[in-house]
Amino acid sequence: MSEVIKTDICVIGAGSGGLSVAAGAVQMGANIVLIEKGKMGGDCLNTGCVPSKALLAAGHAAENARTTSHFGISTCPVSVNFAHAMDHVHAVIAGIAPHDSVERFEDLGCTVIQAEARFTAPGEVVAGGKRIQAKRFVIATGSRAAVPQIEGIDNVAFFTNETIFENRTCPDHLIIIGGGPIGLEMAQAHRQLGAKVTVIEMLTILPKDDADLVSVVRDVIEAAGISLYEKVKTSRVEANGDQIRVIIERDGTKITIEGSHLLIATGRKPTVENLGLDEAGVAYSARGIQVDERLRTSNRKIFAIGDVTGGLQFTHMSGYDAGIVIRNVLFRLPAKVDYSSVPWVTYTNPELAQVGLSETAAREKFGDAIRVVTWNYAENDRARAEAKTDGFIKVVTTPKGKILGAGIVGHQAGELIGVWALAISKKMKIGAIAGMIVPYPTLGELSKRVAGAWYTPSLFSEKTRKIVRFLLKLG
């Protein structure tokens, strides 16, 4: 008979969400069984956020070396060793891996099972020859690359984010299908490291972001020599010797693009297969597991977090979801999710970051009863000193100053968006940002300046002048 393990919480999936639940709960006194069939750390550590940012860092370093002349610095022609750049990527992964390792979580007190998990009943999972019976279960199986149904796709070799970081030879010409964050980040990294790059997108690039912000990224991408094909249909792919042909259609005209390598970056799909969800009484679809505001599934003893729920697919969302589950399971608090202040970043150079409602979304919800203010990087002294003047910040508010959303495109936008996420989560008005003291010279002044600009029409109005003149007459 299979060994039976009885525990408080069984976590399925050792990506960022599952690890957060396991680490938090075990240190608070719960007995935890953690099950992972693949690599500890999941997609984020091994094939997602960490390697992509490490490769981008290598690309940006190469580009910085090429563009030092405006500082009066001359360099020899830049030489890129692509294999060594990938060594950097894997060194970064290896440096973080011990924090997510089996050994660390066993030292914390978790029982770690490295095997595939499957529900056999509403309160039981089988994994690695063991039957785990738990008071509560947390499904955190994440997502994987989605490959679209394109004619010929099964007959050609292609990368996804799960395989491209194993490539150690710089592509002569990398064709990328998908102009979202993954597609554009990999496009820029490979271009900066020496590849010719073409990006194909059926809509427009970064379609979920503010169009004004996206236009800045688009201009930089195209100026770097990356070919963009937007609003096109990919009708077929085929091999041509050692090359790959991608046939696209735009306005009824067929265009053939030929390259050495192909990357599919068309989004992700939740990992719900082979989990025995029907046996567990958990409702789900191809879009993910259905959860309520407390992240409970249709089986109230089973929770689901992160990408597998089909929601916002960000690592920081998995960590946030983990906190909601811990409060519900360990402390019996009816904690509910609130995704109104979730920030996200595309780590191209310049970066694009957003939180809350975009201008378009705000107009759809509130009509013209909004106010929009902007401030350019070119008007920031630190940006000028570092020659990083491309970009701007945009903030959307109600007429009374309640912050609805903010977007930033420019140098270190991802580092700057946090203050706006805090402001929205705490329901602050824009005056709180305008009144804060920011060190000079920093990019942080962008937030203070754009907030101050909100008051410019009233502060320097004729009405204000009359009040000031009247008060001055009083002596």
Question: Is 337 among the domain residues?
Answer: no
Q: At what angle do helices 211-223 and 181-192 cross, to 10 degrees?
A: 20
pLDDT (tens digit per residue) in 200-226: 999 999 999 999 999 999 999 999 999
Same domain for 286 and 138: yes
Is residue 303, in this structure, part of any structural domain at all? yes
381-438 pLDDT, tens per residue? 999 999 999 999 999 999 999 999 999 999 999 999 999 999 999 999 999 999 999 9
Residues 286 and 261 in one domain: no
What is the percent of the chain with per-residue pLDDT over 90, rounded to a whole number? 94
In a domain, 373, yes or no: yes
Do residues 138 and 12 share a domain?
Answer: yes
**Tokens representing 85?**
């750049």
Structural domain count, the chain:
3
pLDDT band at 75 (very low <50, low <70, confident <90, very high): confident
Of the candidates 266, 298, 320, which is a domain's last residue? 266
Q: Tokens representing 7?
A: 């525990």
pTM for the predicted model, two decimal places: 0.95
Kindly indicate the confidence band of residue 452, based on its pLDDT and cuts at 50, 70 and 90: very high
pLDDT tens-digit profile of 455-472? 999 888 888 888 988 999
In the predicted structure, residue 1 carries a pLDDT above the cut 70? no
The rounded distance, in Å, linking the Cα atoms of 409 and 219 is 12
Domain end marker among 266, 297, 318: 266
DSSP string for 151-162: BTGGGS--B-TT
What range does the domain containing 229 cover? 153-266
pLDDT in tens, 151-183: 999 999 999 999 999 999 999 999 999 999 999
Question: Same domain for 277 and 261?
Answer: no
Q: Within this chain, do residues 121 and 31 fall inside the same structural domain, yes or no?
A: yes
Do the bridges between strand 32-35 and strand 3-12 make them parallel or antiparallel, or are there none, so unpaired? parallel
Q: In whole angstroms, what is the distance from residue 454 CA to residue 65 CA? A: 39
CATH number at residue 18: 3.50.50.60
- Domain end among 266, 282, 315: 266
pLDDT value of position 462: 87
If asked whether residues 253 and 274 sit together in one domain, one would say no
Same domain assignment for residues 215 and 359: no
Query: Which stretches does DSSP call E strand in 340-402?
Result: 343-346, 351-356, 371-376, 392-397
Answer yes or no: do 115 and 227 share one domain. no
Tell me, what CATH number does 357's domain have?
A: 3.30.390.30
135/212 same-domain check: no
Examine the domain organization and report whether 320 and 376 are in the same domain.
Answer: no
Q: Is residue 471 part of a domain?
A: no
Residues 373 and 418 in one domain: yes
Is residue 84 a part of any domain in this protein?
no
Q: Which two tokens stand for residue 188?
A: 């820029």
Q: Is residue 59 part of a domain?
A: no
**Do 14 and 134 belong to one domain?**
yes
pLDDT tens per residue across span 84-134: 999 999 999 999 999 999 999 999 999 999 999 999 999 999 999 999 999
Cα(118)–Cα(131) distance, integer angstroms: 10
Q: Is residue 63 part of a domain?
A: no
Residue 389 lies in a domain: yes
